[in-house]
Structure 1
Amino acid sequence: MSTSDFTLAAALMDAFARRTGVEGPGPAVRYLWTDAFATCNFLGLAAAGDGARYTALAERTVAQVHEVLAHFRADDIRTGWLRGPHGDAEDDHPVRAGLRIGKKLPERCPDEPFDERLEWERDGQYFHYLTRWMHALDRCARERHAAHFNRWARELADTAHRAFTNGGGRRMYWKMSTDLARPLVASMGQHDPLDGLLTARALRATAQALGETSGPTLDEAIADYTAMVQGSPLATTDPLGLGGLLVDALLLDRLSTAGADGDRALLDQLLASALAGLPHCQRSLDAPADARLGFRELGLAIGLAALERLIAAPASGQTRRRLDALHAYLPLRQAIHAYWLHPAHRTASSWTEHQDINEVMLATSLAPDGWLGA
């Protein structure tokens, strides 16, 4: 990370903190995906610069997410901590009932007809947002040497597994109601089982490293996700999905046990899937700014930062051959940065209408150590 990248990432995160009420007198405007990346960004900036201030911002983001998104909405007839058939949240267990997405519109009522377009704007719970928050809590546990963050993350992982899996643990819902009582979108996210598997394994590894023995073991969740991932197609042309595959490949490489055939096979599948999708994704990056979504492309840039670390790690055989082939795509990261750092491109409605998530993920891509680990 260059000094200029660090300075720009810090400026973006400072502005986000003021704009969304993490810092200063403004109201707390929380959105789970963005806040997961923001928390990790603050941790990364703390490790590289103004430690006390950015550590405080990371912990304040966590506290506000739990104060806002672990509680029912102000326009809901239900009040207080989230509660439902899979658990009740409380002070010592703030995420035991999951976390709301933070969308502007309330969730769809049980007797309300499904509207695919409108569903994107409605609240509820997304599994892939929950895994991002598990990761943010786990990064807090490791950076702050505070096991309770990891215990919270494992409690969230346990609840999410029980709520989102169905059909004997071989399928998952994509979106659930705020209380996790009913599915809002019954189809399965392509990479949700993979996210669940690697996140659960990472949480368990952190618990072991910190000597934390209380809380869920996640054994059943890991077994279910492993079965779901086996033989499932992972290739995608979506830049955000491709970035996720590359981040997952780095995580799996770090979690792998020497001689574990299953890990090697899955790692090769992740790299092969990325290789299959990147040529198609690259062509979509020629569209004008109004037709592009910055945060999705920046997700790919973050994945390419993970790929840089993976290429530098020891590897041999087919894994090394796939990494050598993927090396050709590393310049895309700087191309994505250059495009979205151009002032004219950041005046497009596709950027300004999603300013928080775009700027936070730009900061993550510029200074990825907080999200990826050093």
Structure 2
Amino acid sequence: MTENTSTVIVRDLMAEFAGLTGLDPPRTRPRRYLWTDAYAVCNYLELFRRTNDRAYRDLALRLVDQVHHTLGRHRDDDPRTGWISGLPEEEGEAHPTRGGLRIGKPLPERKPDEPFDERLEWDRDGQYYHYLTKWMHALNRVGRVAADPVYVRWATELAKAAHAAFTYTPPSGGGKSMYWKMSVDLSRPLVPAMGQHDPLDGLVTYSEVRAAAGGTALSAEIADIARICRGGGLATSDPLGIGGLLFDAWRLAQLGRAGSIHEDLPASVLDAALAGLTAFARGGTLRHPADYRLAFRELGLSIGLRAAGALAERVRENPALSRRADALLQYVPLADAIEGFWTDRRNQEAGTWTGHREINMVMLATSLAPGEFLAI
């Protein structure tokens, strides 16, 4: 697919997304969801880069503002009001990420006296660590493109708030761990288990933000989360998880020495990604009809694979990493197959697409035009 063709498709997808969610034309109560919005910000920046149309830059900035004023504040159905950080109005405006950001789920968070229901928990609000790191990355990209340090400051403040809330030392002692999901105000865990790739994602994202902020920003948090990373298994056959590993491997390569907290990490990440790709390719998922596939998970993989060629070139002078990165290249055709399948309008009629329309369309757009998302 040519760049001109992909730009047209992405432009249409992101115009539809803006209308569906109340970004453009703006609605008083827009529908914001942190994961999807992080990708969307990068997509608008990429459209700005490709077209030089400032309207797309303005949409990215407007989306950041909507996210902060929607997900940085309590829900309309919550008796609490104002910024979830508890800051007074003026200070909250200046520091909108200091209390983290809500997920944007349809149901209120589980109350302290409510029993845990795994099925319901997926639809309940709160804060996810891996959503917060995606937003840190989006803020960093806006700061770079807009040449405005306030966005990097907000990313730094979000990293500090997230790290302080999500990391903890178990009562039994031993090394630190991380919660997977926290309450809206970050006062209590909602799901105590640790996400498999959360420590890695945090380490890479903190390093990215520190490189943008300069100096010793987040040094304590980076050292802390690097210890949590050690010894954790990274291999997964989940396509979204594999894509995340590839994204982290590419960011580590771009960071170079700025991301070298422990030197064996890039090799470990690539080994896990290769193992996952082998298992996924053998599993035959891509031969199934649309009703049995989840677009956003597959598109997470195709986004990561879009960095494979650049990654192989970046690590060419490191024989151990170069060998691993070159092995990734055989899987790049999977990205073409995934994009081709989900750009087919017939497959977009499946319930697995329409039931997750906004996240699917935004991640398809990212896969087709990944430049700004994959940059640091």
TM-score, structure 2 as length reference? 0.93
Amino acid at match of 1:237: S
User: Which of these residues, 186, 191, 201, is aligned with residue 195 of structure 1?
Assistant: 201
Q: What is the alpha-carbon distance in structure 2 between the residues aligned to residue 66 and residue 309 of structure 1?
A: 33
Q: What is the alpha-carbon distance in structure 2 between the residues aligned to residue 74 and residue 101 of structure 1?
A: 14
- Name the stretch that deviates more: 285-294 or 225-234: 285-294
Q: Quick check: 1:238 aligned with 2:244?
A: no
Q: What is the alpha-carbon distance in structure 1 between the residues aligned to residue 205 and residue 278 of structure 2?
A: 28
Amino acid at match of 2:220: E
Shift, 1:317, TM fit? 1.4
Q: What is the alpha-carbon distance in structure 1 between the residues aligned to residue 51 and residue 363 of structure 2?
A: 19
After superposition, the C-alpha distances for 1:234-282 in whole angstroms (9 at most, x for unaligned) are: 111110000000010010011122995833x111111100111112222
Q: What is the alpha-carbon distance in structure 2 between the residues aligned to residue 253 and residue 279 of structure 1?
A: 22
Amino acid at match of 2:268: Q
User: Which of these residues, 189, 201, 205, is aligned with residue 183 of structure 1?
Assistant: 189
Corresponding residue of 1:60: 62
Q: Which residues of structure 2 form unaligned runs of 5+?
A: none
After superposition, the C-alpha distances for 1:271-314 in whole angstroms (9 at most, x for unaligned) are: 10011111222222222211211001000000001112202324
Moved runs in structure 1, 4+ residues, more than 4 A? 258-261
C-alpha distance 156-317 of structure 1, shift in aligned 2 (>3 A): same
User: Which of these residues, 120, 123, 127, is aligned with residue 121 of structure 1?
Assistant: 123
SS in 2 for 1:155: helix
Please say if residues 84 and 181 of structure 1, whose CA atoms lie closer than 8 Å, have aligned partners that are also in contact. Answer: no
Q: Quick check: 1:270 aligned with 2:269?
A: yes
Corresponding residue of 1:21: 22
Please say if residues 306 and 372 of structure 1, whose CA atoms lie closer than 8 Å, have aligned partners that are also in contact. Answer: yes
Q: Quick check: 1:288 aligned with 2:289?
A: yes
Q: What is the alpha-carbon distance in structure 2 between the residues aligned to residue 158 and residue 259 of structure 1?
A: 18
Amino acid at match of 2:367: S
Q: Which residues of structure 1 form unaligned runs of 5+?
A: none
SS in 2 for 1:101: coil
Corresponding residue of 2:161: 159
Please say if residues 89 and 96 of structure 1, whose CA atoms lie closer than 8 Å, have aligned partners that are also in contact. Answer: no
Q: What is the alpha-carbon distance in structure 1 between the residues aligned to residue 362 and residue 154 of structure 2?
A: 24
Shift, 1:143, TM fit? 0.7
Shift, 1:32, TM fit? 0.3
Please say if residues 243 and 304 of structure 1, whose CA atoms lie closer than 8 Å, have aligned partners that are also in contact. Answer: yes
RMSD: 1.9
Corresponding residue of 1:107: 109
Q: What is the alpha-carbon distance in structure 2 between the residues aligned to residue 95 and residue 89 of structure 1?
A: 11
Corresponding residue of 1:204: 210
SS in 2 for 1:91: helix
Corresponding residue of 2:357: 355
Q: What is the alpha-carbon distance in structure 2 between the residues aligned to residue 261 and residue 318 of structure 1?
A: 18
Corresponding residue of 2:308: 307
C-alpha distance 244-258 of structure 1, shift in aligned 2 (>3 A): closer
Q: What is the alpha-carbon distance in structure 1 between the residues aligned to residue 41 and residue 151 of structure 2?
A: 13
Corresponding residue of 2:326: 324
Amino acid at match of 2:155: A
Q: What is the alpha-carbon distance in structure 2 between the residues aligned to residue 350 and residue 161 of structure 1?
A: 34
SS in 1 for 2:109: coil
SS in 2 for 1:184: strand
